[in-house]
Chains A and B, each alone.
Chain A
């Protein structure tokens, strides 16, 4: 249910890519097309303006040369053949505003439409665009033409018919707009196809991961070619799978070992009782059977206690600031009984304070001392020392000069129930849980345990406690 909601509310990457890609395409196409249209319009206008300005100068010079020769002007300005289409129209007025001469088409362009005229010493400005009521487009400009020393001898108005150009531009705009639209549709479609195609490995990976079950955790995701961007993902997934596989293996080994370890005491109990009952016996014999049973029960209950301890990671840890020396002396007092019995020197060295749960601290160090004493031959030495670091961290080092551990067994010694052949021989009652409990205790304290050993030279175990 949860996952369904999550899928519903989150957007799809393919959709988002498509939208973003299309929007980008819109921006790119629109600016390119806009720029092109703008350039064409500007160029046309520039050309038309130039044409009008050139006309104005040319007419000005004719007027200046022949101020009174109207016929000459007419001939020069108006088309001789009335049917011929002329692109530009002219109107001449005198200073009082009465028209001296005008092209026929000028009738639809009253003088007031034109921009204010300028005299010849001023630069001629841009023409004004005008749309007539019958849909014709004109560019309008005006100027004074001088004669003699009169700068405002004639008012000259020129109009250029740009209707065709306008139609052409409108046509261009329409075509460009259609091109833009078509481009966008194409871009959107392509974006959708591409993003779906490029996201296909994701679906394939999901399908592949979906096939992995608890029984085939040896599978890996990263063993085929994925896009480069998937490398961190496949790497993380494979690391996780590796860890899961390892945990599963440990767990099943643990269950198998557990069943195995439970079998031994149960078998002792059962067979011993059966043998005792198989024929009448004396009270003493029955008593011995029961006493032996109690020893097995104790072994079983200690094992259960240890397993429960390991199974509960949420163990309440009550940390106190402990004087490590006092705690170690107490433990050494206890284990010295055993050490003296075996003729092993047991020493405590150093001072320091440690933030730890007193019971758990005792149990961890106690397990290490018990191990050291079990695997050190008589005449050997076991030394416990406290090493305080500068940042408040501290370490408890338990060092013996005993049998040591072969290097191939080192990675296994912290595993639950792991017991080497040596351990089985030297410490028959051991459960194989001692170091696993030590490690668990150190994890509860956010610390760690390290072990170094050389066969024949001895073993050193260090408990690292972080600063409190």
Chain B
């Protein structure tokens, strides 16, 4: 997958390139709107990450021009301003998603993956990682042949981790997906919930599946 980053700040552009490259993307950098437009037209990118505060002109115009020329690749914009009308404006112009600085890299990665997963994922009824199985239809979780006794929210949380297995999920994202909480609370509720889930899912078993990425979030994956 090819990604174009339009960002004038060299430092930001280089760590974004490094991070995304390490997650399997092929990344190019443009440091101005003109370069960005030129590259976007000549190369076949799958997605553009666009900073809207660029030196030569507002990043919005890149979205506008590309959309006017018929390019429909997903565009995610980054902004240091999160005034409501800024977000609405960007999305109205045809951008697909936005992130407000400062953002977590895991958040950016999750959003890029969501945008690239254009076709809605085939909704499976069964999820499995290692010996952990989830039957979404029957609302049943089993590990190593034993049925796990989970509350409704615990089941939802485990299902989210399993569905996004291998992706680091931030606390904010987890609160939003599992509880429908839309604000960044400074409580450690997600940590508590994960701890309780671990007690049931990981503690009785020798192989641990839920891992903490300190300061970032949680990931469910098989580690050897």
Q: Are B193 and A362 in contact (CB under 8 A)?
A: no
- Is B181 in contact with chain A by the CB < 8 A criterion? yes
Q: Are A337 and B189 in contact (CB under 8 A)?
A: yes
Interface of B, secondary structure class, is loop
Q: Are B189 and A315 in contact (CB under 8 A)?
A: no
- Is B137 in contact with chain A by the CB < 8 A criterion? no
Q: Are A363 and B215 in contact (CB under 8 A)?
A: no
Chain A residue nearest to B178 in the complex (CB):
A334
Chain B residue nearest to A299 in the complex (CB):
B186
Q: Are B84 and A315 in contact (CB under 8 A)?
A: yes
Q: Which residues of A contact B196 (CB under 8 A)?
A: 337, 341
Q: Are A334 and B184 in contact (CB under 8 A)?
A: no
Provide the A424-437 mask, 1 if CB < 8 A to any CB of B, else 0: 00000111000000
Cα of A88 to Cα of B214 in the assembled complex, Å = 132
Q: Do A359 and B180 contact each other (CB < 8 Å), given the known contacts A295-B214, A333-B153?
A: no
Q: Are B179 and A304 in contact (CB under 8 A)?
A: no
Residues of B165-182 contacting chain A, CB below 8 A: 175, 179-182
Q: Are A359 and B183 in contact (CB under 8 A)?
A: yes
- Is A198 in contact with chain B by the CB < 8 A criterion? no
Chain A residue nearest to B105 in the complex (CB):
A294
Q: Which residues of B contact A431 (CB under 8 A)?
A: 186
Q: How far is the CB of B40 from chain A (nearest CB, A)?
A: 30
- Is B83 in contact with chain A by the CB < 8 A criterion? yes
Cα of A297 to Cα of B196 in the assembled complex, Å = 26
Q: Are A366 and B185 in contact (CB under 8 A)?
A: yes
Q: Which residues of B contact A330 (CB under 8 A)?
A: 179-181
Q: Do A338 and B181 contact each other (CB < 8 Å), given the known contacts A292-B215, A316-B84, A370-B186?
A: no
Give 19 A-B contacts (CB < 8 Å), ordered by A residue: A290-B215, A294-B216, A295-B214, A297-B102, A316-B84, A330-B179, A330-B180, A330-B181, A331-B181, A333-B153, A337-B153, A337-B196, A338-B188, A341-B192, A359-B182, A366-B181, A366-B183, A367-B185, A430-B186
Chain B residue nearest to A298 in the complex (CB):
B215
Q: Do A334 and B189 contact each other (CB < 8 Å), given the known contacts A302-B184, A359-B182?
A: yes
Tally chain A residues at the interface, Cβ within 8 Å.
36
- Is B124 in contact with chain A by the CB < 8 A criterion? no
Residue in contact with A362 in the complex, picked from B82, B84, B181, CB distance below 8 Å: B181
Cα of A316 to Cα of B180 in the assembled complex, Å = 21
Q: Which residues of A contact B182 (CB under 8 A)?
A: 358-359, 362-363
- Is A312 in contact with chain B by the CB < 8 A criterion? yes
- Is B224 in contact with chain A by the CB < 8 A criterion? no
14 further contact pairs, Cβ within 8 A, besides A358-B182, A366-B181 = A291-B214, A291-B215, A294-B216, A295-B215, A297-B102, A298-B104, A300-B102, A312-B83, A330-B179, A333-B179, A335-B189, A359-B182, A370-B185, A370-B186
Residue in contact with A338 in the complex, picked from B85, B183, B192, CB distance below 8 Å: B192
Q: How far is the CB of B194 from chain A (nearest CB, A)?
A: 10
Q: Are A362 and B183 in contact (CB under 8 A)?
A: yes
Residue in contact with A429 in the complex, picked from B179, B186, B193, B214, CB distance below 8 Å: B186
Q: Which residues of A contact B104 (CB under 8 A)?
A: 298
- Is B187 in contact with chain A by the CB < 8 A criterion? yes
Q: Which residues of A contact B189 (CB under 8 A)?
A: 334-335, 337-338
- Is A1 in contact with chain B by the CB < 8 A criterion? no
Chain B residue nearest to A342 in the complex (CB):
B192
Q: How far is the CB of B93 from chain A (nearest CB, A)?
A: 18
Q: How far is the CB of A190 from chain B (nearest CB, A)?
A: 62
Q: Are B215 and A293 in contact (CB under 8 A)?
A: yes
Q: Are B183 and A294 in contact (CB under 8 A)?
A: no
Residues of A324-353 contacting chain B, CB below 8 A: 330-331, 333-335, 337-338, 341
Cα of A341 to Cα of B194 in the assembled complex, Å = 12
